[in-house]
């Protein structure tokens, strides 16, 4: 659903913008890339959480705390794919 919302924003940009999605092939490639990226992120997070189940995590960080830290680090890692413009 998130990919659909981002795609709708790009359709509304207008043909003069280089990020504009103008035809069905652009939309399909954007949707496929978004789906593959989401799958990669979810599988990666599941693998890391599985490894952390057997790791020595401090008590205050167990569960949701370490998950937030992990997701934040994964977000920074994925930002590197686009050039890390903070």
Domain boundaries, the chain: 2-82
Q: Is-above-0.75 flag for pTM?
A: no
pLDDT at 33: 82
pLDDT tens digit at each of 86 positions of the chain: 555 666 666 666 666 766 667 777 877 887 888 888 889 889 999 999 899 888 888 888 888 899 999 999 988 888 887 776 66
Q: Identify whether the C-beta of residue 20 lies closer than 8 Å to the C-beta of residue 13.
A: yes
Report the pLDDT value the prediction gives residue 7, as an integer from 0 to 100. Answer: 65
């Amino acid at each position: 659903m998130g990919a659909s919302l981002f795609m709708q924003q790009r359709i509304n940009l207008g043909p003069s913008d280089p990020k504009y999605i103008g035809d069905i092939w652009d939309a399909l490639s954007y949707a496929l890339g978004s789906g593959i990226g989401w799958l990669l992120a979810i599988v990666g997070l599941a693998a890391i959480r599985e490894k952390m189940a057997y790791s020595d995590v401090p008590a205050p960080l167990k569960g949701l705390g370490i998950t937030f830290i992990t997701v934040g680090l994964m977000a920074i890692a994925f930002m590197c794919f686009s050039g890390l413009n903070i």
